[in-house]
Amino acid sequence: MRRHLLAAGLGALALAMAPALALGQQSNGAGALAGATNGAIVAQQASAGHGGASSQSGSATQVAPVAPAPAVAVQAAPVNVNLPIRVASPGNSGEVSQSNDSAARAEASNAAVVEQDAAAGGHANKGSGGSVSQSGGATQVAPVAVAPAISAQVVPVNANVPVRVLSPGDDGDVSQSNDASARAQAGNEAMVAQQARAGHGGAVSQSGSATQVLPIGLAPAVSAQLVPVNLNAPVEVGLPPLPLDPAALLADPVGTVVGIVGSLPLPALPVDPFAVLADPLGAVTGLVGTLPLPALPVSLL
């Protein structure tokens, strides 16, 4: 039996613009499952009454059985893009889940099995006399079980780029993954199973052999990712900070303006305006005294 399954996943592109964003889930998957088996099976069952005889001979032989089970799962350039855009739409965004998965599994086996069951001398080993003779052989010559499994992703990309323009709010959790896995199993089996029952005074003779000549079991598994990319780049564009609070301006226009003027980097005044109002002559005299005037030849006082 041979099965060969090849699956390839294509990318999905999602673009959303809405006042409220919900859960976003994107995935690309490629999977392959293959199995191959060669079997040679002999099953025998015999029974004899009181004083009777039971004789069995069986052989299961395989010569150069080959069980190939290739499984290939390939993704070339699957892309998941989530690009929600908010313009003047405050609110919270939902969760985003993105994944690129490539998996391959293969199993191959060759089996040569002999099963024998014989009874003599009546039921439940009662009675007398009787004889049981069994001979079985299971042989495999150069059995080959090959199960390659290959899983490859070339350029899987997960990109989450939410854009907010004048839209305050929080973005949801982001989950991104790129996975490539391969599993292979190969086996060769030669088995003899015998069971014999004889009554009182009876005789039992059994002979069995299981032989493998040059058995080969190969199970290479290859998993490769070349350029897996997970990108989460939120972008937010808002208004620049205003020099004054509009609500405060409406509540107290004079105080707000005075406060803003007081916070401006104005040059220092040579005289204090409040001191001039309180004592004009003293303020002017003090100001003149601080000026760098040249020395007079005579004293005016």
For 280-299, what is the mean pLDDT?
A: 63
Model pLDDT, residue 193: 81
Q: Which residue has the higher pLDDT, 173 or 299?
A: 173
Cβ contact 196:132 at 8 Å: yes
Per-residue pLDDT, 196: 74
Amino acid 33: pLDDT: 72
How high does pLDDT run on average in the chain? 73
Cα–Cα distances (Å) from 204 to 59, 193, 232, 261, in that order, read 19, 15, 75, 116
152: its two tokens: 């490859």
pLDDT tens for each residue of 79-129: 888 888 888 888 888 888 888 888 888 888 888 888 888 777 654 344 455
pLDDT digits (tens, 9 = 90+) for 25-81: 777 777 777 777 777 676 766 666 566 677 777 787 888 888 788 888 888 888 888
pLDDT bin (cut points 50, 70, 90) of residue 137 is confident
How many other C-beta atoms lie within 10 A of the C-beta of residue 64? Answer: 13
Q: Which of 146, 142, 114, 147 is nearest to 212 (CA)?
A: 142
Q: Are 103 and 33 in contact (CB under 8 A)?
A: no
How many angstroms separate the CA atoms of 175 and 228, rounded?
14
Please report the pLDDT score of residue 35 as a whole number.
74
Distance CA 28, CA 7 (A): 11
